[in-house]
Structure 1
Amino acid sequence: SIRMLADHRADAPDAPWLLWLAFGACHAPHQAPQELIRAYDATFAHGWDVERAQRLARQKTLGLVPPDTELPPRNDGVPAWDSLGEAERRVFTRLQSAYAAMLEHADAQIGRLLQFLRDSGQADDTLVLVLSDNGASQEGGPLGYVNAMGPYNLRPEDMAEKLRRIDDIGGPDTHSNFPHGWAMAANTPLKRYKQNTHGGGIRDPLVMAWPRGIAARGELRHPFCHASDLVPTLLDLCGVAPPAQIAGVAQLPITGQSLRATLADPAAPGRSTPQYFEMFGHRGIWSEGWKAVAYHPPGTPFDADRWELYHLERDFAENHDHADAEPERLAAMKALWWREAEANQVLPLDERFGARFAENARRAQGARSRFVFHAGMGHLPTDVAPDVRARSYRIEADVDIPAGGAEGVLIAHGDATSGYSLYLQDGHLVHDLNIGGLHQLVRSDRPVPPGRQRLGFRMDLGPMVQTPPLPGLGRVTVPSSRRGSLWIGDAPAGEIVFKTGFTSLISWSGLDIGRDRASPVSHYAAPFAFSGRLFQVTLTLAPQQELDGTAIGNAEMARQ
């Protein structure tokens, strides 16, 4: 970002610019330098119950919440911190420390950017907005993860393994996420989490600064606002009218209202139009200081949802439900939700979780079954890389091995937390199927001879079967067997029976040819570029068998 702004300053100093800087923080994986992570252990050793109380007290002191705000009970399923064993407390504390360290590291980078704006003379005329996209994540589950990529692919991670790897948490070969209890604390004093329409899912900070355009310094604004208000606010501040057409295409009307008045005057009236919420059947509606909200249990009729009613102007944390006391108001709010939902293309309601993710997974590549990658191509994002889940496949690399031998990566998809790689090392062909840090390697039974060679790997799956019921997933469809084989020319060169494979996710990192450019999938130092001559790599996919949408959905929600 600093380089972009420096280049812009040099090339067109009088032209306006827009910078969108999207940090990974504080999204899983929670990663940060180890010295930052461990420095927080003592801070959070008291646990999430004490932390919630302390945060609420600080919020009141700072004026972030009304002074009479009450702390709601713990979210469903979250145990009291004092009821946990020593191993759980140690692991959960370190997982929270990784989250905090990641946030501190991101904050330092924002500071670097703001300092550049000051140093380059642009700070006074730059409008800065710092915001998040949702409440704290529930995707870490009740126990959190050291490397979530294993559990996403049905490789268990028990507490003994978490404790054994406690010093790896937040490092490059982990995909760490904190447990529900710390997510609850992160949402203090609000209920529930991301994916839900209670406050813990949808209330986020918004910090704005513009020295030349906003006179206020360090002041708070409490009127309701929504993400849909940002575009009209920016257009209003810049004096730009939204175009009715772009390239002859009529534009949809911009929803939301400008916040310009409240930036200048804390007493200015806030938003006057209602705002709906919906996700996976959970619903909510805000209007004139009141909020109606319904938590939707999966698989139940929408008509059976119990709606709650809160007066947010007097009950910030949604503690006092007025649904029984004010049925007429609740009925009006529910009717308003349906009108807003229809006007904003929310209907028909679709609570399907697994089915929607399975459909999206199949739709990404359609019926394509053959990919040819030539040497010299760039990095391929994971969403458009060959989908090798739930299917047999063949990899074949066309190479020329010099007389002195060669080494390096032929194809790699993923990173140190999960993925697969086919490479040459010490003269032999090697394939690694890395499932959440479980490296399942097969090495050729003979060296690869010099000259033009076809080097390959084949994955052969057995018929699909269902697992016994798994916690949170039910029965999951998986192959009855996974067998891999290495090939040099037309002859097999090694075999392996895999214990596990890609059930829901290969990796959030993409695919490379002739190198593994970032975090290495296997036991080599990146980029481990191939030292021979690589002509092309061909990947041929058998028809995809049934994907388990629920498992995919759980993994994908942790990605959003």
Structure 2
Amino acid sequence: MPVIEYKPGSAFPGVIGRTTDASRPAWPEPPRAVPGSPNVLLIVLDDTGYGQFGCYGSPMQTPSLDGLAAGGLLYNNMHTTALCSPSRSCIITGRNHHANGMAAVAEMATGYPGYNGNIPFENGFLPEMLLQHGYNTYMLGKWHLMASEQESAAGPYDRWPLGRGFERFYGFLGGDTNQWHPDLVYDNHQVEPPASPEKGYHLTTDLADKAMAFIADAKQVAPDKPFFMDFSTGATHAPHHVPREWADRYRGQFDDGWDAYRETTFAKQRRLGVVPPDAVLSRHDPDVPAWDSLSPDARRLAARMMEVYAGFLSHTDHEIGRLLEFLKEIGELDNTLIMVVSDNGASPEGGVTGTTNEAQFYNNAPEPLQDSLEAIDELGSPTMFNHYPWGWTWAGNTPFRRWKRETYRGGASDPFLVHWPLGFKARGEVRTQYAHLVDMVPTVLDVLGIEPPETINGVTQSPLHGVSFAHTFDDGAAPTRHHTQYFEILGHRAIDHDGWRAVCPWPGPSFAEADQPFGTPITTDRLSELDAHHWELYHVDEDFAETRDIAADHRDKLIEMVTLWYVEAGKYNVLPIDGSTLARMMTERPQITKERTSYTFRAGTQTLPASVVPRVLNRPHSITAEVEIPDGGAEGVLISQGTRAGGWSLYIRNNKLRYAHNYVGRVLNTVSSTEPLTAGRHELRFEFEPTGEPDLAAGKGAQGRAELYIDRRLVGAADFPVTTPIMFNPGGLTCGADPGPSVTPEYESPFRFTGTVHTVTIDLSGELITDAESEMRMHLARQ
């Protein structure tokens, strides 16, 4: 008897009698895709600039991506939000970033609807839509789409990938991760990397392997079932981690510097048609020193940092190529709609000189050039957390001005490729139509013939904000359907409308030209002054790279554009405008438990993300471990936070209790017990009491007194002249181990404790042990 099916919710077409012999069965119809439906593969790179793909004029080698452009389409007018979480929210929902609650990165959420970091469930995700139409849905790599306070094992899990329509996930939840020692999540639980760097492990390779495995797992059972995959690499976000042989391929190729890179890349862009023939290269950025002004040592360091970045990008391209070759082998490449994009322009987070450790940037603690030079041969390795200087950022966004976090085109215009051999006939052509990331979801739905759902999981859906650009696939002359688009990131604003562009930079057109430091809040009075005097106007239809500010000559047009910006701001929850950065990072946010001063941890539990870790910096605190030492002794980490880039660790080595505080990878403050541990149960305790005020602007945390206790007896003390001022990045906390790279070179990760850790308690109440007699003995012993 043939199987009878019916659509869920419709009348049962079978027969129900008193018994089964007088009845006829029927089954709810499972969701199936329309036969021949294409797979959909989004490849999202991180912090990759407009002028960094080979097919966009770069000297860097990206043959896999160039091949997609040659076999498909290259768009030269795609726009992002200029920052990662906001852009990713647009890509996956088809709605503007403030309407998604993603005004900035998730770690900077504040208590306003456009800023709170919680994407509303009425803004459905593309995988949630495609699940209803018979697709498998996979997410690989970077998520960064929920409030960071929700990343722990306590959840809630409804905004994790598996809660927003993805059937399988393998990657990391936060904004960046160590490419050699990543913070990995598999579906809804943490996992350790399957191998070590010494055995050839690298995150991008791992992600490509898992992507192929996910597809193969399903295709062997249901070969005709299409998939949707979001493949979001950690590359090319810092840390720029890559096997040395990839970086060495570029030896000497950037010795001419960033000025030469821009000139060469721009000339090639014009030859390729990536920029219009009448385009003008944007000015030399005031924040970037001329290459020839640098000392020979500074040039050598900067050139090597770029070699490492180039190797990182080429390595990423190679891994993307492996995924594409796999799709070709299984006969799926030609019927896979592939879209490749970056989430924003190249990143300036390495500062003017670049850094061997990005944590120095976040803590206002740049290292001296000589220190960086001493580490030049280690750049890209597991011991570094490196990022290149502003000059390469600026060059990477050729021909545009500025970079990530700013809404000039250098931050908000990015490479975009579309490849689908069975879907359109055009090959190797450039498309100039205006587009924005919010247009990607409507385009996918359009080519699949799917209407946006009215409800998802019982939640009524909001309208999409983007429009399809599928009509441009085979018609290079087709008009754009996206006419108006606002931008706002960290108080930096812009708006595009029918070939015109207005920009209001904050705190200025460059840091050198600003009268306020980056991250300064915007007051009402200052906003009025900005609106009256600081908007710039560009006719980008005739001035591709924003080189001629014509606001003074077109005052009426400027007023029209500023007014239109406020209209859009009202639609999409953009207000209140907030130019602050550090204040937003430090904002107190709702937690899943009430505020407390005591936190208890147990060994064997998952690493805690930095967002839910007790804040021990610049304040008195204690760490108390209840442990069991077996006969013969024990060693290992009792509790740790951070990595070699910065952090702290309480551990036992050589039968001594020890504590290490790693200040931005540059200074290691340590204290050790003066007597050995004996077998049995002990209370082991570390205390820190500040003896001075922190100087955040100067990159210095509070100096203080560090003390160690065994069973409440003082057994070690030291004065720490400096501590970490603002944050550890990465900043995960682990009880019973140090997953790595290790906080201190005194041991190798994970250095798991070989005894028994019953509990470890971090106390922030400020209640410290006072033992005058032990203090005196300790002082005398140190004379």
TM-score (norm 2): 0.66
Gaps of 5+ in 2: 1-210, 508-515, 768-783
Q: Does 1:428 align with 2:656?
A: yes
Q: State the partner residue of 1:252.
A: 462
Q: State the partner residue of 2:106.
A: none
Q: Does 1:457 align with 2:679?
A: no
Please state how far the C-alpha of 1:251 moved relative to its aligned partner.
2.1
Q: What letter corresponds to residue 94 of structure 1 in structure 2? A: R
Please state how far the C-alpha of 1:478 moved relative to its aligned partner.
4.5
Residues 478 and 423 (structure 1), Cα distance of their counterparts in 2 relative to 1, 3 Å cut: closer
- The 1-side partners of 2:589 and 2:370 are apart by 34
Q: Does 1:493 align with 2:718?
A: no
- Contact kept, 8 Å, 1:149 with 1:435, in 2: the verdict is no
Q: State the partner residue of 2:569.
A: 341
Aligned length: 537
Q: Does 1:537 align with 2:763?
A: no
Q: State the partner residue of 2:474.
A: 264
- The 2-side partners of 1:150 and 1:307 are apart by 33
1:285-300 mapped onto 2 (5 Å cutoff): 285-297=495-507, 298=516
Superposed CA deviations along residues 173-231 of structure 1, whole A, max 9, x for unmatched, are 22211111111100111011111111111001111212222332222211110011111
1:136-535 mapped onto 2 (5 Å cutoff): 136-150=346-360, 152-297=362-507, 298=516, 301-305=526-530, 306-360=534-588, 367-437=595-665, 438-462=667-691, 464=693, 466=695, 473=697, 478-479=701-702, 481-523=703-745, 524-535=747-758
- Contact kept, 8 Å, 1:389 with 1:506, in 2: the verdict is no
Residues 175 and 208 (structure 1), Cα distance of their counterparts in 2 relative to 1, 3 Å cut: same
Q: State the partner residue of 2:256.
A: 46
Give the 3-state SS of the residue equivalent to 1:486 in structure 2: strand
Shift >4 Å, 4+ stretches: 360-366, 475-478
- The 2-side partners of 1:169 and 1:359 are apart by 34
Residues 536 and 325 (structure 1), Cα distance of their counterparts in 2 relative to 1, 3 Å cut: same
Q: What letter corresponds to residue 173 of structure 1 in structure 2? A: T
Q: What letter corresponds to residue 540 of structure 2 in structure 1? A: L
Please state how far the C-alpha of 1:355 moved relative to its aligned partner.
2.2
Superposed CA deviations along residues 318-376 of structure 1, whole A, max 9, x for unmatched, are 11222122222221111111111111111122223332222157979862322222222
Q: State the partner residue of 2:297.
A: 87
- Contact kept, 8 Å, 2:504 with 2:536, in 1: the verdict is yes
Q: What letter corresponds to residue 551 of structure 2 in structure 1? A: A
Q: What letter corresponds to residue 297 of structure 2 in structure 1? A: A
- The 1-side partners of 2:590 and 2:689 are apart by 20
- The 2-side partners of 1:246 and 1:274 are apart by 28
- Contact kept, 8 Å, 2:258 with 2:391, in 1: the verdict is yes
Q: What letter corresponds to residue 144 of structure 1 in structure 2? A: G
Give the 3-state SS of the residue equivalent to 2:274 in structure 1: coil
Please state how far the C-alpha of 1:466 moved relative to its aligned partner.
4.7
Q: Structure 1 residue aligned with 2:342, among 116, 128, 132?
A: 132
Q: State the partner residue of 1:551.
A: none
- The 2-side partners of 1:31 and 1:128 are apart by 26
- The 1-side partners of 2:364 and 2:690 are apart by 17
- The 1-side partners of 2:612 and 2:676 are apart by 33
Residues 465 and 413 (structure 1), Cα distance of their counterparts in 2 relative to 1, 3 Å cut: closer
Residues 98 and 533 (structure 1), Cα distance of their counterparts in 2 relative to 1, 3 Å cut: same
TM-score (norm 1): 0.91
Farther-moved stretch of structure 1 (3-12 vs 63-72)? 3-12
- Contact kept, 8 Å, 2:700 with 2:722, in 1: the verdict is no
Residues 10 and 32 (structure 1), Cα distance of their counterparts in 2 relative to 1, 3 Å cut: same
Q: What letter corresponds to residue 515 of structure 1 in structure 2? A: A
Give the 3-state SS of the residue equivalent to 2:398 in structure 1: coil
Give the 3-state SS of the residue equivalent to 1:464 in structure 2: coil
Q: What letter corresponds to residue 688 of structure 2 in structure 1? A: M
Superposed CA deviations along residues 218-249 of structure 1, whole A, max 9, x for unmatched, are 22211110011111111212222222223333
- The 2-side partners of 1:22 and 1:74 are apart by 32
- Contact kept, 8 Å, 1:413 with 1:420, in 2: the verdict is yes
Give the 3-state SS of the residue equivalent to 1:350 in structure 2: coil
Give the 3-state SS of the residue equivalent to 1:309 in structure 2: strand
- The 1-side partners of 2:599 and 2:655 are apart by 27
Give the 3-state SS of the residue equivalent to 2:502 in structure 1: strand
- The 2-side partners of 1:527 and 1:115 are apart by 36
Residues 137 and 461 (structure 1), Cα distance of their counterparts in 2 relative to 1, 3 Å cut: same
Q: What letter corresponds to residue 413 of structure 1 in structure 2? A: Q
Please state how far the C-alpha of 1:151 moved relative to its aligned partner.
5.1
Superposed CA deviations along residues 66-115 of structure 1, whole A, max 9, x for unmatched, are 12211122112222111211111111111111211111111111111112
- The 1-side partners of 2:335 and 2:654 are apart by 58
Q: State the partner residue of 1:549.
A: none
Q: Does 1:67 align with 2:67?
A: no
- Contact kept, 8 Å, 1:153 with 1:435, in 2: the verdict is no
Please state how far the C-alpha of 1:275 moved relative to its aligned partner.
0.2
Residues 543 and 76 (structure 1), Cα distance of their counterparts in 2 relative to 1, 3 Å cut: farther
- Contact kept, 8 Å, 1:233 with 1:258, in 2: the verdict is yes
Residues 476 and 433 (structure 1), Cα distance of their counterparts in 2 relative to 1, 3 Å cut: closer
- The 2-side partners of 1:466 and 1:412 are apart by 24
Give the 3-state SS of the residue equivalent to 2:252 in structure 1: helix
- Contact kept, 8 Å, 2:682 with 2:710, in 1: the verdict is yes
Gaps of 5+ in 1: 468-472, 545-560
- Contact kept, 8 Å, 1:464 with 1:477, in 2: the verdict is no
Q: What letter corresponds to residue 497 of structure 1 in structure 2? A: D
Q: What letter corresponds to residue 487 of structure 1 in structure 2? A: Y
Please state how far the C-alpha of 1:8 moved relative to its aligned partner.
2.8
